[in-house]
Amino acid sequence: MTRTIIAIAGASASGKSLFSQTIYNELVNELEPGAIAVIEEDAYYKDQSHLPFDHRTQTNYDHPEAFEHELMCKHLTQLRNGKAVEVPTYDYAQHTRSDKTRTVMPAQILIVEGILLLSDKALRKEFDIKVFIDTPLDICLMRRMQRDMEQRGRTLQSVVEQYQATVRPMFYQFIEPSKHKADLVVTRGGMNRVAIDIIKSKIKYLLQE
């Protein structure tokens, strides 16, 4: 059986999750059970439970070193080879992994979304289709402020400080240059109906092959 792994990359709050979830939600009931699955790169942030909370707040979460990309690569290879994996789950409020894992079965179509997927050479090799969500950074910042305060337990001050110290500089160092590794660059992210339909058609075509 041929399996296809699709990467959805882009800045934080660019709309990667919305884009991925829209494709998943619109296809999941049309396809055979278990044909499509989604994995988040954020699940592979390193475990920091051994560090005091104050230290965890100082981590640069936008640098490749913050992730356990080796484990992610290993899991993607296992999924491609038809094996189920236990994906970690992440707690943004605690800045570390939670105790639970999530079992992901080897789907024929696997969508993977995350900020640094295309900047890592080893990870890039795992992807059959590479998409970059290209959203202006000021729009990402506005969305991130709202989301991080509502859903990730952050204050306005902490979002602004983190944005200046790491999020913005790491975007220009790692994420923006990785756009050129993409097969498709998508504007308007999760609201780009044409782009969503193109990926959906490609998935349906692959499943018919």
Ligand X SMILES: Nc1ncnc2c1ncn2[C@@H]1O[C@H](COP(=O)(O)OP(=O)(O)O)[C@@H](O)[C@H]1O
Contact residues toward ligand L45E5XJ5 (CB under 6 A) are 12-13, 16, 42, 45, 61-62, 92, 95, 115, 162, 167
Based on CB atoms, which residue is closest to ligand L45E5XJ5, 21 or 77?
21
Question: What residue 130 binds from ligand X, ligand L45E5XJ5, none (CB within 5 to 8 A, per partner kind)?
Answer: none
* DSSP SS3 for 26: helix
**Amino acid code (one letter) for 77:** T
Decide whether 26 or 55 has the Cβ nearer to ligand X: 26
Nearer Cβ to ligand L45E5XJ5, position 42 or 134?
42
Taking CB within 5 to 8 Å according to partner kind, which of ligand X, ligand L45E5XJ5, none is near residue 191? ligand X
Q: Tell me which of ligand L45E5XJ5, ligand X, none is bound by residue 167, counting a contact when its beta carbon lies within the kind-specific cut-off of 5 to 8 angstroms.
A: ligand L45E5XJ5
Partner touching 88 among ligand L45E5XJ5, ligand X, none, CB below 5 to 8 Å by kind: none
- Closer of 25 and 146 to ligand L45E5XJ5 (Cβ): 146
Q: From CA 163, how far away is CA 148, in angstroms rounded? A: 12
DSSP state for residue 128 in the 8-state scheme: S
Query: What type of residue is 76?
Result: L
Give the DSSP H/E element, type plus range, for residue 144.
Answer: helix 137-151
CA dist 104 → 39, 78, 85, 163 (Å): 8, 11, 5, 32
Terminal alpha carbon distance of the chain? 10
